Amino acid sequence: MMSGVLQRSMLLLSLCFILAPSAIADATSSQVTILKAARLIDGTGAPALSPAMVRVEGDRIIEVGSRLRIPAGARLIDLGDATLLPGLIDLHTHLTGDERVHWEDALTKSTPPRDALWGARNARITLLAGFTTCRDMGPAWPYVDVELRRAIDEGAVPGPRMLVAGAYVSSTGGAGDARQFSTYVDVPAVRNLADGANEVTKAVRTNLKNGADFIKILVTGAVLSKGISPGAQQYSDEEIRAAVVEAHRWGKQVAAHAHGAEGIKAAIRAGVRTVDHGSYLDDEAVSLLLHANRQVFYVPTLYTYEAIDRSDAGNPIPESERQRARDIRAIGYAGFKRALAAGLPIGFGTDAQVIPHGQNAKEFAIRVKLGEAPMAAIVSATSLNAEIIGWQDRVGSIIPKKLADIIAVSGDPLRDITALERVRFVMKDGVVYREDLR
């Protein structure tokens, strides 16, 4: 039985116009493409430009303006009453695996190749929804994400450019301990548990050796877990610091899954790059983040609280965990409002897989409903997210010399933020993957 979500996403794919081989040839041969639309939001927070034209050569943005010369032989793509935006960035996805299988069951009900194939499907849906960059927060089977990233980079499957975690680091019995079987059952392929500073250091080294781009560590319990509660800190301050020290030696960042206030604060003090979810963000945590002065960022995932409890047949989440989400929802919203009121820069993430893939942009509407300005929400998912992952020289804004990751939506997202849920044009690296606006 196919879920409604799956049927909808397959319909979406069949409506899309995918230009793979010829477009790839264009991108490498420096063909000039001129994009034209009613307006452009460049991702930096500057007011929208109207009308707007962008000149793309190969994989780069060359020129942006209201009226550009169209050179002979250039390809003109006129998108009409649309808004051009930078490709969106999601800092918290789980692209590998089948979203209908609960992650704790994946080790008994799935296999690494199956999860990789579903990963290819999810990556394509995510790209076509306008997300051209994803920081992926970890697979059920270690390093399946590394192979998905590689397949995308090699052009074997379409998907966002990815930063991957490899095997997230968790304490025994903590939120990331998926091996909750009988004591007598083991899954030898999965070795992501680390206890004590020495084991955490070794886990960081093993991940980076095996191709991870950053370290994901679970510092508190989770909503979608049977283990220690989301409010509880599961790693000691010393263990979290060990992860950060070792990752920094390799020039890499640490992303911390954290719900409870004490875990959030321990992670900020240890110098992680992001505190993800951040449900119980309190005044002290906000002031620590302000003092961290754009070195540590809060990345909420607000649509999850609602999506976890959705009633479609494909949702594998059991009642006990839905109840955890209901308990924590108002607290998570209050944390976000606290961060907004303090003027904190807030990163953008969704936890896609917990929410259906391709619905990443639903996070925008919740943030705006909770009081964020539409432009600030767009900056969060573009230039701010690029700054957080250290890719501000490559992606996150429509500025000359950046990679040509450009999307378009019909209408104006500053008037109706849900326009971002209806992406109609997607270019990544100068290659057009979706073009149903013309």
**Contact residues: Zn ion, CB under 5 A:** 137, 351
Taking the complex as a whole, the smallest distance from the CB of residue 223 to Zn ion amounts, in Å, to 10
Taking the complex as a whole, the smallest distance from the CB of residue 353 to Zn ion amounts, in Å, to 7
Q: What is the DSSP letter of 310?
A: -
* Residue 84 vs 256, nearer CB to Zn ion: 256
Rg, Å, the chain Cα set: 21
Quickly list H helices, 188-295.
Answer: 196-209, 237-249, 261-270, 283-292
Taking the complex as a whole, the smallest distance from the CB of residue 11 to Zn ion amounts, in Å, to 27
* Residue 41 vs 355, nearer CB to Zn ion: 355
Contact between 126 and 90 under an 8 Å Cβ cutoff? The reply is yes
Quickly list H helices, 342-381.
Answer: 362-369, 374-379
* Residue 359 vs 410, nearer CB to Zn ion: 359
Distance of CA 319 to the CA centre of its chain: 26
Taking the complex as a whole, the smallest distance from the CB of residue 103 to Zn ion amounts, in Å, to 9
Per-residue CA distances from 346 to 149, 289, 338 (Å): 26, 10, 11
Taking the complex as a whole, the smallest distance from the CB of residue 284 to Zn ion amounts, in Å, to 24
* Residue 79 vs 137, nearer CB to Zn ion: 137
**Measured over all CA atoms, what is the biggest interatomic distance in the chain, rounded to whole angstroms?**
71
Tokens standing for 353?
């897989």
Residues in contact with 326: Cβ distance below 8 Å, sequence separation at least 6, in sequence order? 305, 309
**Strand, coil or helix: 174:** coil
Cα–Cα distance between 109 and 104 in angstroms, integer? 9
Taking the complex as a whole, the smallest distance from the CB of residue 124 to Zn ion amounts, in Å, to 20
* Residue 349 vs 413, nearer CB to Zn ion: 349
* Residue 239 vs 351, nearer CB to Zn ion: 351
Contact between 64 and 400 under an 8 Å Cβ cutoff? The reply is yes
* Residue 137 vs 409, nearer CB to Zn ion: 137
Q: What is the DSSP letter of 105?
A: G
Residues in contact with 311: Cβ distance below 8 Å, sequence separation at least 6, in sequence order? none
Taking the complex as a whole, the smallest distance from the CB of residue 278 to Zn ion amounts, in Å, to 12
